[in-house]
């Protein structure tokens, strides 16, 4: 049984993990369980994590004592058994998810056309469809093939389902500005009927696209041929009733709504509300609320533009609606703060309901602190209890009930902290990394440089660095964890910080909502990885 699964199932304030396995096996794991009374939050710093394997003294049997400590999300009443020793079966070591290469999409050659740079990746709510947007304004949607009966253990491949040009470059004549066609964000609407709907946005305009299938067409008209040419009415001697005949599947994408002219600054986020009727869009200084049906107006709900632009100190960097509460949304700022707003409080939500900010660690204060503390992405957990923010060097997980500091902080690439000056010069410090949750909110993932991406297991306090590269792209080949050495002695297989390729960055990642399938975008390629099924 997977340890991670068990940990998620029995949730207590703090406790040492318990592993239960099959009974009746010869080899087993013996685990000690200890229940702590919950410690007041203000006395705890960051989480502790320690794992140790100790051979038990019992001769003749292979028993290992495992002690794991961790903070588990509270979901069930505390375990009533203090100091319980539970025999666990299964002789193998602790279950670890192994990630395997599945597919890679995109051109192979190193010469990357600007327009092919992937700018956003998003699974739909069922995970069956995977949408990508690129710098050239195109959207490509992949669809997962149904599991074949021959290989029930294999998940279906993702193949191209639809490709369309969502946005074109525009020119704002009044301001003499070119408007980029790059797709900044794609958000799927929950599916209501056979067609799929998604919102895609560039810097200024949001569009609602309908993607529908057509597999029948009418044939047998009287006044026109099947190829569309009109028949001379004089040649019609008999009448027939047109009927629908099957045809090759055609997937059509059509723009159903265009929401334009509502943003003075560059749109950075869109988020569909849980009411499925409204959505928000945010730019650097304002957030607008739209109704999906109405394109000629939107409501401005947040406006942080100062009366005097000289006094500008903070901009909005990302925003999101709460997954369950249709009145709640958050927005993050360039100063590293997140504000939660309740639309029931007032029409204009300039006054926040909650304000999340962690006091700066004076030890980490550097010349570039203002840039590295700027939040690049904010995401609610699927449960709605937590939200995750990504700044340049770390991921922070916040409990919505606690505003003073995050409950968890993960350093993504701490070794870059001493390189901030060079990263400033080569512009990398301005890179906006995204982050995502897995389906049950137990693992979070984000990208880094050198085509590395990182996963942090919250329950088990384990993290891994993996690489998306063509070298590891044999089907079903297991990805080997990578390690970056921050200085001093470099161990074998480690990569030194100076040999990292900062042009190979993974900014966009997505996790299948229901399965362990991930989509990772390098500059112009999309990698799909899945966990190894036994």
User: Which residues contribute to the site for another protein (CB under 8 A)?
Assistant: 172, 174-180, 182, 203, 264-266, 268, 284-285, 308-310, 312-313, 315, 317, 334, 367-368, 370-371, 374, 421, 424-425, 427, 430
Query: Does an H or E element contain 371, and which?
Result: helix 369-372
- Helix locations, 38-145, DSSP H: none
State in angstroms the smallest separation of the CB of 261 from another protein.
Answer: 12
Q: Do residues 17 and 66 lie in contact, with contact meaning Cβ atoms separated by under 8 Å?
A: yes
Instruction: Count the helices and strands in the chain (H runs, E runs).
Output: 3, 38
Complex with another protein: residue 9 or 260, whichever CB lies closer: 260
State in angstroms the smallest separation of the CB of 447 from another protein.
Answer: 20
- CA 434 to CA 447: how far, in whole Å? 7
DSSP for 188-239, written as a single string: EPPP-SSSEEEEEE-SS-EEEEEEEEEEEEEE--SSB-TTSPBPPGGG--S-
State in angstroms the smallest separation of the CB of 356 from another protein.
Answer: 19
- CA 458 to CA 73: how far, in whole Å? 9
Complex with another protein: residue 281 or 450, whichever CB lies closer: 281
- CA 385 to CA 457: how far, in whole Å? 17
State in angstroms the smallest separation of the CB of 312 from another protein.
Answer: 6
Complex with another protein: residue 280 or 285, whichever CB lies closer: 285
Contacts of 195 (CB under 8 A, 6+ apart): 210, 211, 212, 213
- 3-class secondary-structure state, position 92: coil
State in angstroms the smallest separation of the CB of 421 from another protein.
Answer: 7
Complex with another protein: residue 116 or 370, whichever CB lies closer: 370
Complex with another protein: residue 133 or 323, whichever CB lies closer: 133
State in angstroms the smallest separation of the CB of 306 from another protein.
Answer: 11
The pair of three-digit structure tokens given for residue 200, joined into one six-digit string: 């895609």
Complex with another protein: residue 317 or 451, whichever CB lies closer: 317
Q: How many CB atoms within 10 Å of residue 19?
A: 23
- CA 205 to CA 191: how far, in whole Å? 23
State in angstroms the smallest separation of the CB of 341 from another protein.
Answer: 20
Residue 354's DSSP bridge partners are: 340
Complex with another protein: residue 422 or 496, whichever CB lies closer: 422
State in angstroms the smallest separation of the CB of 422 from another protein.
Answer: 11
Query: Does an H or E element contain 299, and which?
Result: strand 299-303
Complex with another protein: residue 268 or 381, whichever CB lies closer: 268
Q: Do residues 70 and 17 lie in contact, with contact meaning Cβ atoms separated by under 8 Å?
A: yes
What count of residues does the chain have? 534
* Alpha carbon distances (Å) from 353 to 273, 278, 313, 344, 397: 18, 21, 21, 10, 19
Angle value at C-alpha 294, between 291 and 298, nearest 5 degrees: 65
Complex with another protein: residue 428 or 495, whichever CB lies closer: 428
Complex with another protein: residue 130 or 416, whichever CB lies closer: 416
State in angstroms the smallest separation of the CB of 299 from another protein.
Answer: 21
Strand blocks (E) in 25-71? 28-33, 35-36, 51-55, 63-71
Q: How many CB atoms within 10 Å of residue 235?
A: 6
Residue 327: φ, ψ to 5°: -100, -5
Complex with another protein: residue 55 or 176, whichever CB lies closer: 176
State in angstroms the smallest separation of the CB of 135 from another protein.
Answer: 10
Q: Do residues 372 and 411 lie in contact, with contact meaning Cβ atoms separated by under 8 Å?
A: no
Complex with another protein: residue 284 or 463, whichever CB lies closer: 284
State in angstroms the smallest separation of the CB of 197 from another protein.
Answer: 27
Task: Give Cα 375 to chain centroid, integer Å.
Answer: 15
State in angstroms the smallest separation of the CB of 264 from another protein.
Answer: 6
């Amino acid at each position: 049984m997977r340890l991670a699964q068990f940990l998620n199932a029995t949730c207590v304030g703090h406790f040492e993990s318990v592993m239960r396995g099959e009974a009746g096996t010869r080899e087993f794991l013996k685990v000690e369980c200890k229940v702590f009374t919950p410690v007041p939050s203000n006395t705890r710093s960051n989480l502790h994590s320690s794992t140790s394997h100790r051979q038990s003294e019992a001769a003749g049997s292979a028993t290992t004592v495992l002690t794991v400590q961790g903070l588990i999300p509270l979901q069930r009443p505390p375990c009533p058994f203090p100091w319980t020793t539970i025999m666990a079966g299964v002789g193998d070591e602790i279950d670890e998810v192994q990630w395997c290469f599945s597919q890679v999409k995109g051109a192979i050659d190193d010469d990357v056309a600007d327009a092919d740079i992937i700018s956003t990746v998003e699974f739909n709510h069922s995970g069956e469809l995977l949408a990508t947007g690129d710098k050239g304004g195109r959207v490509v949607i992949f669809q997962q093939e149904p599991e074949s009966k021959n290989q029930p253990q294999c998940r279906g491949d993702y193949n191209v389902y639809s490709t369309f040009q969502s946005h074109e470059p525009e020119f704002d004549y009044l301001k003499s500005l070119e408007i980029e066609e790059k797709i900044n964000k794609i958000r799927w609407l929950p599916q209501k009927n056979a067609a799929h709907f998604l919102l895609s946005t560039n810097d200024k305009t949001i569009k609602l696209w309908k993607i529908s299938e057509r597999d029948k067409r009418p044939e047998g008209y009287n006044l026109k041929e099947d190829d569309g040419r009109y028949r001379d009415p004089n040649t019609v001697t008999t009448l027939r009733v047109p009927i629908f005949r099957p045809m090759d599947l055609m997937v059509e994408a059509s723009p159903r709504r265009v929401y334009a002219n509502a943003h003075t600054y560059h749109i950075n986020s869109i988020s569909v509300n849980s009411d499925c009727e409204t959505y928000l869009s945010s730019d650097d200084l304002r957030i607008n609320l739209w109704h999906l049906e109405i394109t000629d107006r939107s409501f401005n709900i947040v406006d942080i533009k100062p009366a005097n632009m000289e006094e500008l100190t903070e901009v909005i960097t990302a925003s999101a609606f709460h997954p369950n509460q249709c009145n709640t949304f958050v927005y993050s700022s360039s100063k590293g703060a997140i504000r939660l707003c309740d639309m029931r409080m007032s029409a204009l939500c300039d006054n926040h309901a909650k304000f999340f900010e962690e006091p700066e660690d004076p030890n980490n204060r550097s010349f570039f602190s203002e840039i590295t503390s700027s939040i690049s992405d904010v995401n609610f957990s699927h449960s709605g209890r937590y939200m995750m923010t990504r700044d340049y060097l770390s991921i922070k997980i916040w409990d919505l009930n606690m505003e003073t500091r995050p409950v968890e902080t993960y350093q993504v690439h701490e070794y870059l902290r001493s390189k901030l000056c060079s990263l400033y010069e080569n512009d990398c410090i301005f890179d906006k990394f995204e982050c995502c949750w897995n389906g049950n909110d137990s693992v979070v993932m984000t990208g880094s440089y050198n085509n590395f991406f990182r996963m942090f297991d919250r329950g088990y306090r384990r993290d891994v660095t993996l690489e998306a590269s063509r070298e590891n792209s044999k089907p079903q080949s297991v990805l080997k964890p990578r390690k970056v050495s921050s200085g001093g002695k470099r161990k074998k297989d480690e990569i030194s910080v100076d040999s990292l390729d900062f042009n190979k960055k993974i900014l966009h990642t997505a996790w299948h909502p229901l399965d362990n399938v991930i989509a990772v975008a390098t500059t112009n390629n999309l990698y799909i990885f899945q966990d190894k099924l036994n």
